[in-house]
Every structure is written in C-alpha cells, then in structure tokens.
Structure 1
Amino acid sequence: MIKVKQIKSKISCKPHQVKILESLGLHRINQVKEHDDTPVIRGMVYKVRHLVEVTES
C-alpha cells in the first residue's frame, strides 16, 4: 500500500492532470488517500509527481 498526499494546488494545472488527481481521490491540499501499489497507480502518481507526496506503508 502507498499513501498519496496532495501538497500543491491543482488550479494552474493542465486538465488531464486535474483528472488524474480526481481519479486518485484527491480534491484538497493535505488530503491523503491509500492505494494499492500497482503499476497503474504508480503511473498516475508519476504524471502528477510535482503535486503529490508518496509514502509507502
């Protein structure tokens, strides 16, 4: 399992990055969601790596 935390705003982001954040379940700054550590989730996190922080649990 990995924990994904949004650390920056999505206001000035491209539309596909906003959709990725929403599909990860992140809507607010400092919101944390847990996901399984799969290649799909890792790929989404990689696309928005400047907006999120990842910790492994």
Structure 2
Amino acid sequence: MAKEKNQTVRVRLVKSPNSCQGRHRLSVKALGLRKLNDVRELKDSPSVRGLINQVSYLVNVESDA
C-alpha cells in the first residue's frame, strides 16, 4: 500500500475584511485567519478551496507540494 501524501495549502490574510460582505468575513474566520499577515496551513480539500475562492481578493495562497 502506498502512503497518501498529506496535501496542505498555506493561506495568508493580506487585506482587511472590515469593509467587505458579512459572508466573506465569516469565510475568513472559518479559515482561521484573524489579523493581517496571519498564516494558516490547512488541509487541501474542496470545502477549504471553496472558502479560499470566495475570499480570493483578501488572501494569498501557497500550495505545499
């Protein structure tokens, strides 16, 4: 059996969510980002990708390969 490689994605908050839609603020909170330049390493899954796509104008993404 081959071991599965844990795919992660690194997300950095680069713009403040203060003046954006409430749903987008909740998405940033769901990603675990609180302050500017805050970085989280999350499991790469469709639900996380959906949150990132929704707030793509607020975050920068690095995928770890």
Aligned length: 57
The structural deviation recorded for 1:15 is 0.3
Say which structure, 1 or 2, has more relative contact order (CA 8 Å, 6+ apart): 1
Aligned match for 2:16, one of 6, 9, 20: 9
Deviating runs (4+, > 2 A) in structure 1?
Answer: none
Taking structure 1 as the reference length, the TM-score comes to 0.97
Query: How many Å separate the matches in 2 of 1:8 and 1:33?
Result: 15
* SS of residue paired to 2:57: coil
Q: CA RMSD in A?
A: 0.4
| Counterpart in the other structure of 2:58 | 51
Query: How many Å separate the matches in 1 of 2:20 and 2:35?
Result: 14
Query: How many Å separate the matches in 1 of 2:34 and 2:42?
Result: 15
Q: Would you say 1:41 and 2:48 are equivalent positions?
A: yes
Query: How many Å separate the matches in 2 of 1:27 and 1:13?
Result: 15
Q: Which runs of 5+ in 2 are unaligned?
A: 1-7
**Structure of higher CA gyration radius:** 2
Percent sequence identity is 33
The structural deviation recorded for 1:33 is 0.2
